[in-house]
Structure 1
Amino acid sequence: MQTIKKSLFLQVIIALIFGCVVGFFFPQYTKDFQVLGDAFVKLVKMLIAPLVFCVVVLGIYGAGDLKKAGKVGLKTILYFEVMTTVALLLGVVVAYIFKPGAGMHIDVHSLDAASLSKYNENVHSVTNFSDFFLNLIPQTAVGAFTGAEVLQVVLFAIIFGIALSYLPNDVKDPVASAIDKVSQVIFKMMGLIVKLAPIGVFGAVAFTVGKYGLSSLMNLGYLVVLYYACVIFFVVVILGGILRLFGFNIFKLIRYLKEEILVVCGTASSDSVLPQVMNKLTQLGIKNTTVSLVVPSGYSFNLDGFSIYLTLAVVFIAQATGTALSLHDLMMILIITLFTSKGAHGIPASAIVVLAATLNSFPAIPAVGLVLILSIDWIIGIIRAVSNLIGNCVAAVVIGAWEKDLDFERAHQVLNHPELAKAAETDFVDDAMVLPFPVAKDLN
């Protein structure tokens, strides 16, 4: 009992099992349980903007060398774009090899478009660089924190951090110290919220099982199975191969992140573990300046699992509705999705919304075909969020190694013996909080 009380991992496992049991045997009582999962994710999202601001500003301030920080940023964006392109291509290739929608012969006139109305309200079509670039800039400084775009917060924090670094020491040191103190409060708040993770997981799982049945967690058709297999291939072979080049094992990294992955499985949202992941990557031996730049920006720029699903789902809808696609059409889809995939984070029901934006930008495929995949979005969203999380963690390791900001010896020790890292690692359920960066007075 004491072990369960101390272990978030075991608590979430129990919540998952309990949620399945309650949802299966008492489905009539679970229709309102989704509020528990949604509330937990909203509580975490409430703190993401100020948290990202603090860690990015302190990361730039602590780096000292702005040229170095800029070089890390450019390499990060380059890596993200390469991996996004690979993921998008993989989705297209898998869809064409296995043809999940072939033979369905769906009559688009028989589909009820009314169920898409709530998603179309959030559609923002981004089909060129100008739209994407302008969307990075908030209307106001306050708007960066009140909106749902984490990249707007990152942009504001980068400009703030650079400006702060140019100021004299008697000005910038007190400001950095104040931001550091605020960040400590935010991390303490996050520590309190994370204790609620098992409740959020229970509510989300109980609702889903009650609504769709227990089979919804195991078998929702060929498309689901194909997508899961595709994502597993991407994580194990592609991401695993990249890690292997730097001497690391993908399975050991997954084991190290097992608690965070389990929370993501329950909530179908990687937002719910952003602070814990950043802390764990720092404890792994990656410099906090690199973690603070790579991970928050990766939540919008590096959505590997989402990118795979985007092209796979588009081609699936085309096949299901009998829409023929030429090589030119495929190239256009890839170009469009390179932009629309960047707008996924922070949008409610992001996959459906961004898919709608993609199809609106490519009218040859009937957008009403999205109705076909509405019922499986949650189960798809589980591994989609997990793969996004793992992809960003791999990115942090790769950029850290690339920039020599990674302590290889410590990383191998932690991954080979994760229990040894517990003494130094913040569990976010302990009373003592350890920030993923040094306090302001130690930064210079």
Structure 2
Amino acid sequence: NLLKPGVGIKVAAGDVNKIKTYAEQADGINWLEFLAHIIPHNIFEAFSKGEILQILFFAILFGYGLNKMGEAGQSLLSTFDKISKVLFNIMKVVMRIAPIGAFGGMAYSVGTYGLATLLPMAKLMGAVYLTCFLFIFLVLNAICRIYKFSLWQYLKYIRQEILIVLGTSSSESVLPSMMQKMEAIGCKKSVVGLVIPTGYSFNLDGTAIYLSMAVIFLCQVFNIDLSIGQQISIMAVLMVTSKGAAGVTGSGFIVLASTLTALKIMPVEHIAILLGVDRFMSEARAITNMIGNGIATIVIAKSENEFDEEKYRLAINPANIEINEENI
């Protein structure tokens, strides 16, 4: 409301045919289907399609069953631990070459939509980045202070992951290393194994910020007046609907389309104008999501007395950070 990034911008409606795909998928999204979708029909299909909510649901049930086996399940647990280390090593290779793919994706966006389309959206991109910055250094920093650990030291500790996410536009690219680093910083493995994967579907701070600002931006572009009450309602709805973004093909666009369809404040085709700049804002929301998930892990570990302060002090020691990054 203060920056008004959408006021005065004259843009074409965008490629309506492309947006119809998102709108059609959005029409089919409802809470009953969302909840039912969490239960996998076939766990192998869930793994092949990357359905993280279904995988997480199965993992919780499998872990519960494994825990009930007691000592008899230790050999199987050890096997899975070794398999996870192999997969993490594979991810390290992918992470190192991922920026090359990100470069190609960025080049495609500019080549397809052109700078003429991207430049008028600069105000929106600036507003999103500024909001995410303020959220991290005001809201998350306050949480860090309450739980008595330093945001700055935490950010320095995960600086390698931040750079990777900046290059890949995806927080999922650093999932393995974030889990390892959260363990190394003092969080118990059981807490990390539950909170980090769950956060990738439900703790999407950056996504909620982006979607809320996108709706208000579109309303400003198309001269749709929203009262403060309506804006608060939209933000409340998006805080909930954004939780399913990671498990839906098309991610934020489908959630945005479904929200606009439900609220009926504008034609859903209007979000087509965001197609050209979505990639350039994805870094902000991905980094915010990742930072928030890491902080949530530390907070929950501290709350449950599952946090090793000695490991934390050693991990954030500047002399040890470089060593930890080489070992992970």
User: Structure 1-normalised TM-score?
Assistant: 0.67
Q: Which amino acid aligns with 2:320?
A: L
The counterpart of 2:274, out of the listed 373, 384, 400, is: 373
For the structure 1 residues 341 and 226, does the alpha-carbon distance in structure 2 shift closer, same or farther, using more than 3 Å as the test?
A: same
Which runs of structure 2 are paired with 1:8-157 in the superposition (5 Å)? 96-104=1-9, 112-120=15-23, 122-123=25-26, 125-128=28-31, 130-157=32-59
For the structure 1 residues 400 and 426, does the alpha-carbon distance in structure 2 shift closer, same or farther, using more than 3 Å as the test?
A: farther
3-state SS in 2 of match to 1:344:
helix
Q: Deviations over 1:294-350 (max 9, x none)?
A: 100000000101001111111221222222334564454245323320111144542
3-state SS in 2 of match to 1:247:
coil
Measure the CA separation in 2 of the matches of 1:411 and 1:219. 45
CA drift of 1:116 comes to 1.0
Q: Which amino acid aligns with 1:115?
A: K
Q: Deviations over 1:32-73 (max 9, x none)?
A: xxxxxxxxxxxxxxxxxxxxxxxxxxxxxxxxxxxxxxxxxx
3-state SS in 2 of match to 1:98:
coil
Preserved contact between residue 165 and residue 173 of structure 2 (Cα < 8 Å): yes
- Determine the structure 1 residue equivalent to 2:255: 354
- Determine the structure 2 residue equivalent to 1:45: none
Q: Deviations over 1:108-146 (max 9, x none)?
A: xx6552231343354365454x34322221122333323
3-state SS in 2 of match to 1:142:
helix
Structure 2: segments with no counterpart, 5+ residues: none
User: RMSD over aligned Cα, in angstroms?
Assistant: 2.8
- Determine the structure 2 residue equivalent to 1:41: none
The counterpart of 2:306, out of the listed 405, 410, 429, is: 405
Measure the CA separation in 1 of the matches of 2:49 and 2:240. 20
Asked if residue 169 in structure 1 is aligned to residue 71 in structure 2, the reply is yes
Measure the CA separation in 1 of the matches of 2:115 and 2:320. 38
How many equivalent residue pairs?
Answer: 328
Preserved contact between residue 242 and residue 252 of structure 2 (Cα < 8 Å): no
- Determine the structure 1 residue equivalent to 2:240: 339
Deviates more, 1:196-205 or 1:184-193: 196-205
The runs of at least 4 aligned residues of structure 1 exceeding 6 Å deviation read 212-219
The counterpart of 2:187, out of the listed 286, 292, 299, is: 286
Measure the CA separation in 2 of the matches of 1:160 and 1:422. 36
- Determine the structure 1 residue equivalent to 2:128: 227
For the structure 1 residues 414 and 317, does the alpha-carbon distance in structure 2 shift closer, same or farther, using more than 3 Å as the test?
A: same
CA drift of 1:424 comes to 4.8
Deviates more, 1:199-208 or 1:358-367: 199-208
The counterpart of 2:224, out of the listed 323, 331, 344, is: 323
Preserved contact between residue 276 and residue 427 of structure 1 (Cα < 8 Å): no
- Determine the structure 2 residue equivalent to 1:304: 205
For the structure 1 residues 426 and 187, does the alpha-carbon distance in structure 2 shift closer, same or farther, using more than 3 Å as the test?
A: farther
Structure 1: segments with no counterpart, 5+ residues: 1-95, 429-444
Percent of aligned pairs with the same residue?
35
- Determine the structure 2 residue equivalent to 1:51: none
CA drift of 1:270 comes to 0.8
Deviates more, 1:260-269 or 1:346-355: 346-355
Measure the CA separation in 1 of the matches of 2:11 and 2:30. 28
Preserved contact between residue 217 and residue 379 of structure 1 (Cα < 8 Å): no
3-state SS in 2 of match to 1:325:
coil
Q: Which amino acid aligns with 1:273?
A: V
Which runs of structure 2 are paired with 1:184-203 in the superposition (5 Å)? 184-203=85-104
Asked if residue 159 in structure 1 is aligned to residue 94 in structure 2, the reply is no
Preserved contact between residue 204 and residue 289 of structure 2 (Cα < 8 Å): yes
Q: Deviations over 1:1-49 (max 9, x none)?
A: xxxxxxxxxxxxxxxxxxxxxxxxxxxxxxxxxxxxxxxxxxxxxxxxx
For the structure 1 residues 146 and 415, does the alpha-carbon distance in structure 2 shift closer, same or farther, using more than 3 Å as the test?
A: same
For the structure 1 residues 300 and 268, does the alpha-carbon distance in structure 2 shift closer, same or farther, using more than 3 Å as the test?
A: same
Deviates more, 1:353-362 or 1:376-385: 353-362
For the structure 1 residues 281 and 218, does the alpha-carbon distance in structure 2 shift closer, same or farther, using more than 3 Å as the test?
A: farther
3-state SS in 2 of match to 1:97:
coil
